[in-house]
């Protein structure tokens, strides 16, 4: 089973949808307030799309005057990567990759973030195992994932039907992949409406 690869037309539709719900605003709020980043951290944005998460991280690094932070990002869609380059600066190491075939060495990242990507991966368990392999011991992953609901079935129909999960089921997948300390988070109060769309899950290698 092949993963979904967005072309330029679908990329534009996706940008319209997420901006209509102020999703980038919610991502930025959560990154600023809830995701700890330290000097010299190495960060991966997996399935980066057009750069919502990477942009929020760049802003946090600049605001907190962090040094030595190294950002990497990948997506399977060349058109999404083109849109990413328009949104983010050159400080992100960008690659076109399939999450199921990551070339990174074991234990290289302090933090892996991903948004609205894993629910479109045919073999999500292998992707989670790859995430864990690439994290340093004690490293964290934050997953922003669509909630299983009738609303999302309608919203995401133009982008391919996502395989959404309840938190207990997704937590079980993470534990089976070798993660620990799996916790669910909400979007900050300033973006409370996004909690109807999705869940945020934190897990530790």
- CATH code at 56? 3.40.50.150
pLDDT tens track for 94-123: 999 988 889 999 999 999 999 988 988 888
Q: From CA 47, how far away is CA 187, in angstroms rounded?
A: 20
pLDDT at position 156: 66
Answer whether residue 147 shows pLDDT above 70. yes
Instruction: Determine the structural domain holding residue 45 and report its residue range.
Output: 8-204
| pLDDT tens for each residue of 151-192 | 666 666 666 677 888 899 999 999 999 999 999 999 999 999
Q: Give residue 89's pLDDT.
A: 72
Shortest CA distance to 95 belongs to which of 58, 156, 47, 162?
Answer: 47
Q: Cα separations (Å) of 64 from 1, 25, 36, 124?
A: 43, 18, 11, 34
- The closest alpha carbon to 197, from 30, 2, 64, 1, belongs to 30
Q: Is residue 1 part of a domain?
A: no
Q: Is residue 55 part of a domain?
A: yes
If one counts the domains in the chain, the total is 1
- Is 178 part of any domain? yes
- Residue 139's pLDDT band (cuts 50, 70, 90): very high
Instruction: Indicate whether 103 belongs to any domain.
Output: yes
The per-residue pLDDT for 1 is: 46
Residue/partner pairs of 63-70 with CB below 8 Å, 24 or more apart: 63/32, 64/37, 66/37, 66/38, 66/39, 66/41, 67/39, 67/40, 68/39, 68/40, 68/41, 69/37, 69/39, 69/40, 69/41, 69/42, 69/43, 70/40, 70/41, 70/42, 70/43
Predicted TM-score of the model (pTM): 0.90
pLDDT tens across 2-18, in order? 555 666 776 677 777 77
> Residue 114: what pLDDT?
97
Contact 170, 145 (CB under 8 A): yes
Q: What is the pLDDT of residue 184?
A: 97
pLDDT in tens, 16-61: 777 667 889 999 999 999 999 999 999 999 999 989 999 999 999 9
Q: How far, in Å, CA of 188 to CA of 44, rounded?
A: 23
Residues 160 and 107: their CA atoms lie apart, in Å, by 32
For the cut 90, the answer to whether the pLDDT of residue 136 exceeds it is: yes
196, pLDDT greater than 80: yes
Residue range 63-91: mean pLDDT, rounded: 91
Residue 73 lies in a domain: yes
- Tokens standing for residue 74: 């990948």
In a domain? residue 2:
no
Structure tokens at 17: 């949808």
In this structure, is residue 117 part of a structural domain? yes
Domain membership of residue 92 (yes or no) is yes
């Amino acid at each position: 089973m092949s993963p979904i690869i967005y072309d330029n037309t679908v990329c534009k539709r996706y940008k319209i949808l997420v901006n209509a719900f102020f999703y980038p605003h919610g991502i930025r709020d959560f990154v600023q307030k809830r995701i700890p980043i330290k000097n010299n951290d190495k960060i991966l944005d997996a399935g980066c799309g057009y750069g919502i998460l990477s942009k929020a991280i760049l802003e946090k690094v600049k605001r907190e005057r962090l040094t030595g932070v190294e950002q990497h990002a990948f997506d399977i869609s060349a058109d999404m990567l083109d849109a990413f380059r328009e949104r983010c600066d050159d400080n992100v190491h960008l690659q076109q990759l399939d999450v199921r075939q990551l070339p990174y060495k074991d234990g290289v990242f302090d933090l892996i973030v991903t948004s609205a990507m894993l629910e479109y991966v045919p073999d999500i368990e292998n992707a989670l195992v790859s995430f864990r392999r690439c994290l340093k011991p004690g490293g964290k992953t934050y997953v922003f994932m669509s909630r299983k609901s009738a609303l999302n079935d309608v919203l995401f129909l133009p982008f391919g039907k996502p395989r959404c999960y309840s938190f207990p089921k997704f937590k079980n997948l993470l534990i089976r992949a070798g993660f620990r300390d799996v916790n669910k988070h909400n979007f900050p109060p300033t973006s409370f409406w996004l909690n109807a769309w999705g869940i945020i899950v934190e897990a530790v290698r």
